[in-house]
Structure 1
Amino acid sequence: MTHTLASCHRLLDVIGYVESDPRVQVVFTIAPDVFNHRVEQLLDGLGALVLPWQQAVRERFDLGLAAAHGGLHELHAPLLLLAHGAGRSKRVRSGPSAVPAPADHPVYGLDAQRLTHDGRVLPAALALSHEYEVEVLRRQCPDALATAVVVGDPCVDRLVASLPRRPDYRRAMGLGEHQELVVVASTWGPEGSFGRWPDLLPQVMAQLPAERYRVAALLHPAIWAAHGHRQIRAWLRNCLDAGLLLPEPTEDWRAPVVAADHVIGDHGSVTSYAAAVGRPTLVLPAPEPAPAPGTPQHLLALHAPRLDLHRPLLPQLALTGRIDPAAVLGALTARPGDAAELLRRTMYRLLQLTEPDRPARTDPVPVPRPDHRDTDPNG
């Protein structure tokens, strides 16, 4: 069930564990979601078999995969439910207001509102990255505790596997041997860096010498969906004319992160993943309340160097050493390097099939192809 581009990228990481098995036929469907812009285009470009939503909810399947919550109760299948970002750190808002949720509100994705429907627990297996999520689940939705499986994080495992390909990613992005890449990452919504500081990218580009630095913006797919590609590019036209790299949301964001020399980010997932693989990271002020304790976002909010928008940028790029990448990685995953094996085992258990003898693979992300934007994040 592909709800958005973000959830689709996570599912593309995971289906590779079973997709090559001749006993398994994989089909996709696009669940109703306000941010599902361009999901159909991505799947069509991958040659995926896509069933209309109204047909999918009438069929029965041996396994369902989802990395978002809308419409789960309509699917007729044992469901494996994953997170689509760096763990589960956000608090649930109590209503439509833009006021942030208080610190005692439930953690999104581990709450009964999203994990149950009419008294029924929706997932047959709830994939968690860490034991601390089990404890949150125990408090918030104890009925779902029996479905919890700590599998780690397949996204960070692919990032780690991609580190040796850093020179390839940099060449593909057109970076010179002596140039440094600064990645500016934004999650979606008014508290993301793009929504909260609309002048950030122009400021960064104005302060960095163009012969030494290149700048890339990684905008959450929901930003593109909410505003439209034409509008995003219009807002950033001056930056693009000055050389800003702006990957499409259908492209795999992990190659620029591995290629980066510096990352400026907010409380979104990209910032956590970048810090976990050792990219020097400056964080923008996090919204209130702080992210859920134990999460990588909370760790960064407490200990990472803070970007001061009123001070020159160049000296701040040298602020390193205050956040330990191993600590961020440890907050991201309790099973480093093992997500492929553990997720595949869970999927075959739900499929009621024996696992293949060959080891589960964790592949590096593909090298960007400038002449072909809509690429398969699974390689």
Structure 2
Amino acid sequence: MPDCERVLVVVHTVAFAQRLREAYCLLEADLRIQVVFTVAPHAFGGGVARYLESLGIATVPWEEALRAEFDLVLAAGSRGVHELNAPVLRMSHGAGHIKLLTDTSLLAPGETRAPGMLSRQHLLHEGRVGPAAIVYAHERDLEELALSCPEALGVAHVVGDPCVDRIVAGMPRREEYRRALGLDEGQPFVVVTSTWGPTSTFGRIDALLPQLLSQLPGDDYRVAFLFHPNIFSGHGSWQVRSWLAGCRGRGISVVPPEADWQSLLIAADWVIGDHGSLTAYSTLTDAAVLLTPGPRREIAAYSPAALLATVAPVVTPGHPLDEQLRYAARQHRPGQYAQVAALLSSVPGEFHQRMRTLIYSMLELGEPANAALVPPLPLPAPLEQWEAGSLGMAQ
């Protein structure tokens, strides 16, 4: 296509790819813009090429992207993007800024640990702010940024959170999603969420799995595992499913990392999760939330996960799990987690319009003459398609 503005989308991981999709889809149908994709090196990059190919996306090699010129770069990670020949728009890939910086070797004496998108280590390159624009979900993020990396305030923008907007918009379709999943009317549905790392739900699955298998009546409850894509990338799908082989024929589904997960949170009656983003997003739904024991020292004190840990009940091995679920359901009240949900976005419903305005401003183009609407969530696949037994060890 001649005379196009060229936008490069840099994808490091499947989780980053899913978040970036909320941004580059805002450029659909604009013949003035060509979107180019590349896969950047990353330790958890497994499955990225396959995910992009499933969307019909062609990629250029990373080395070629480094040599080429673009008008704008969209990225959700920091690795290698300073080498690209274009201004970079950096966006986060989760709910708030939960996990504190793990590599403290580069911290100056007395410097406090901050989450990645608020840390100097992730935002500065050779002492200068790397991105031309950094987008945040909440005004409070700017307050924290002023403490951790004030140099970046000049390029920081509050645009909201796309997952917040899509979950809220999808809530009226809850029964439709439940039917698509194959749930019977009123059938109890439990979603187990996990971030990645040794302190995650998956890292401690040996404690939770026996409770799920032995204490939930299989004919009554349906269970779905929503695991962070880094778990599948780090261990491989075969190994993950091998560890979960005992779930076969027990009404437990393992949702693949590339699937749209928001509709499952909306459909859930309970969410059992850790300090990861999906547990925080579940506070936007009608589900009762139960937490697995988490590492408080790894969580930013001002994050949604930290607040949730003070108000949500915690799963314990000393009581039958179905009794704990019933207790959480009896205690659950509408708006119980409203304060947590309010930390996810200070401009709910506005991400797509604000993000599109920022992108077009950076491209120095006029926006299309139509509103940027929140795209509806697709109907999920039936849970039977993802059941541990039907997936098979050949995969």
The answer for the alignment partner of 2:277 in structure 1 is 269
Instruction: Give me the whole-angstrom Cα distance separating, in 2, the residues matched to 1:117 and 1:95.
Output: 17
The partner residue of 1:215 within 220, 223, 245 is: 223
Give the Å deviation of 1:294. 2.7
Letter in 2 for 1:356: P
Deviation of the 1:95 alpha carbon = 4.7
Consecutive unaligned residues in structure 2, runs of 5 or more: 1-9, 387-395
**Which residue is 1:377 aligned to?**
none
What residue in structure 2 maps to residue 172 of structure 1? 180
Separation of aligned partners in 2, 1:310 and 1:70: 44
| Corresponding position of 1:118 | 126
1:78 to 61, 72, 87: 87
Q: Aligned residue for 2:20?
A: 11
> CA offsets, 1:66-120, max 9 Å, x none?
1112111112222111110101121112458xxxxx9942222211111111122
Most deviating of 364-373 and 306-315: 364-373
Q: Supply the distance in 1 between the matched residues of 2:285 and 2:80 (Cα, whole angstroms).
A: 34
Q: How far apart, in 2, do the equivalents of 1:38 and 1:177 lie?
A: 35
Choose 341-350 or 166-175, whichever is displaced more: 166-175
Counterparts of 2:103 and 2:254 in 1: how far apart (Å)? Answer: 35
Contact 1:103 1:290 in 2 (8 A): no
Find the partner of 2:372 among 345, 349, 360.
360
Q: 2:113·2:119 contact (CA, 8 Å) conserved in 1? A: no
Whole-Å separation in 1 of the counterparts to 2:341 and 2:142: 18
Alignment size in residue pairs: 368
| 1:369 CA drift (Å) | 3.4
Q: Which residue of 2 aligns with 1:193?
A: 201
Q: CA deviation at 1:324?
A: 2.3
Is the contact between residue 283 and residue 289 of structure 2 (CA under 8 Å) also seen in structure 1? yes
* CA-atom RMSD in angstroms: 2.0
> Bigger CA drift: 202-211 or 314-323?
314-323
The alignment-based identity, stated in percent, is 44
For 1:272-312, what per-residue CA distance to the aligned partner results, in whole angstroms no more than 9, with x for missing partners? Answer: 00112232100112203162233211111111112112211
- Of Structure 1 and Structure 2, the greater helix share is in 2
1:155 aligns with 2:155: no
Q: Which residue number corresponds to residue 321 of structure 1?
A: 332
Whether 2:106 is the aligned partner of 1:105: answer no
User: Does residue 137 of structure 1 match 2:132?
Assistant: no
Give the Cα separation in 1 of the matches to 2:14 and 2:194.
Answer: 15
- CA–CA distance in structure 2, aligned partners of residues 237 and 138 of structure 1: 48
User: Which residue number in structure 2 is paired with residue 286 of structure 1?
Assistant: 294
* 2:26 partner letter: Y
What amino acid is aligned across from residue 270 of structure 2 in structure 1? H
| Alignment match, 1:227 | 235
Change (3 A) 1:364 1:206: farther
Q: Write the deviation string for residues 172-218 of structure 1: whole angstroms up to 9, x where unpaired.
A: 22211131110011110001011123241331132111222101001
The residue type equivalent to 2:54 in the other structure is: G
Choose from 244, 255, 260 the match for 2:252. Answer: 244
Provide the secondary structure at the position in 2 that maps to 1:267. Answer: coil
Distance of aligned partners of 1:104 and 1:286 in 2 relative to their CA distance in 1, 3 Å threshold: farther
Aligned to 2:350: 338
2:79 pairs with 1:67: no
Residue identity matched to 1:172: A
Alignment-derived partner of residue 202 in structure 1: 210
| Correspondence 1:301-312 to 2 at 5 A | 301-312=309-320
Residues 104 and 271 (structure 1), Cα distance of their counterparts in 2 relative to 1, 3 Å cut: same
TM-score (norm 1): 0.92
For residues 34 and 356 of structure 2, the distance between their equivalents in structure 1, rounded to whole angstroms, comes to 15
TM-score (norm 2): 0.89
**Partners in 1 of 2:352 and 2:282 — Cα distance?**
20
Contact 2:44 2:233 in 1 (8 A): yes
Q: How many angstroms does 1:139 deviate by?
A: 1.3
- 1:165 & 1:42 partners in 2: Cα distance? 27
- The 1:372–1:6 alpha-carbon spacing in structure 2 relative to 1, beyond 3 Å, is same
Q: One-letter code of the match for 1:117?
A: H
